[in-house]
Amino acid sequence: MWGVLPIALTGVMETLDPMTTTFFRLSLAALVLTPLLVARKRLPNINKLRTPRLMLQLLVAGLLLCGNYGLYISGLERTTPEAAQVMIQVAPMLLLLAGIFLFKESFSLTQWFGFFAFGSGLVLFFNHHLGDIFTSLNDYGFGLLLLCMAAVCWTGYAVLQKILLQEFTSEETMLAIYWLGTLLFLPFSDFSTLGQLTAIQWGLLAFCGLNTIIAYGAFAEALVHIEASRVSATIALTPLLTVTIVQLVPITGITAEPIGLLSIIGAIMVVCGSITTAAAKK
């Protein structure tokens, strides 16, 4: 789901602005998930929200995830789907580090080697854009920084999500966050261009909303069953899917990242380094 998401979002943003697109992602997810939970009698337990600590944790988790959504799509608008997916891999790596310091998960020498390979891979993948960040910060470089900030927000959300799962189910937390995001992004949305959407773009927008439910629902549920580092190993595969699709399938409105030998090596190092860091201790 995350591998194809930036491609769909880019298609929608040919007409809609990033904030309006994000509003529809969250509102569609909320509107679909709410009746499903009503039918299954699994709506959030309101009594739990009366506890100030839980209420604050849920609110902060929601704000962090909404920050991730807004920063990610703003960074995507200024870069490419491939760049966005490679850069956002900083998020699971930060989650791995959080697993060490917060959840007391062990970290082996091989994992540190994988972490170094990941960082080196990032530098190689963006070798032709390093000047956009460190020499003259242009729109592309600013987009990469926004994606880094999105990764930080996602890590904070993931840590709080794992804590909240001790009291709430994954469906309860995600439903609350979807409605919170809908309210937060509503004032920044512009609906004047909705009439300009093509049938394909409406389909992509609906897909983005369903993608939100499936991807984050699966992520939240995965944290119930396995440790945070194991979740990161699977997430690391997403950039390869995105890069492969954009490079091999010509898509109208999407500019492929200029991929040379160093960039290919860098993308492979990012994925292998992330997987090694997540799974090497086993």
**Tens-of-pLDDT digits for all 282 residues of the chain?**
888 999 999 999 999 999 999 999 999 989 998 898 888 877 766 777 777 888 898 899 999 999 999 999 999 998 888 888 888 888 878 887 887 777 677 778 888 888 889 889 888 888 777 766 666 678 888 898 999 999 999 999 988 888 888 888 777 888 888 999 999 999 999 999 999 999 999 999 999 989 988 887 787 778 778 876 677 677 777 888 888 888 888 777 777 777 788 888 888 888 888 888 777 765
Burial of 97: CB neighbours in 10 Å, binned 0-12, 13-18, 19+: middle
The distance of Cα 148 from the centroid of its chain, to the nearest Å, equals 11
Q: Which pLDDT belongs to residue 237?
A: 79
Burial of 252: CB neighbours in 10 Å, binned 0-12, 13-18, 19+: exposed
Question: Taking Cα atoms as reference points, which of 258, 207, 254 lies closest to residue 76?
Answer: 254
Q: Which pLDDT belongs to residue 20?
A: 94
Domain range for residue 114? 5-279
Q: Please state, in angstroms and rounded to a whole number, the distance separating the CA atoms of residues 35 and 28.
A: 12
- The residue assigned the tokens 């993948």 is 125
Q: Which pLDDT belongs to residue 8?
A: 92
Q: Contact at 8 Å (CB) between 177 and 44?
A: no
- Supply 237's token pair: 């595969």
Q: Please state, in angstroms and rounded to a whole number, the distance separating the CA atoms of residues 24 and 30.
A: 10
State pTM to two decimals: 0.86
Q: First and final CA of the chain: distance in angstroms?
A: 27
Question: Taking Cα atoms as reference points, which of 37, 57, 56, 53 lies closest to residue 45?
Answer: 37
Neighbours of 1 (CB within 10 A): 18
Structural domain count of the chain: 1
- Supply 141's token pair: 């470089």
Q: Please state, in angstroms and rounded to a whole number, the distance separating the CA atoms of residues 3 and 23.
A: 20
Tell me which amino acid residue 152 is: V
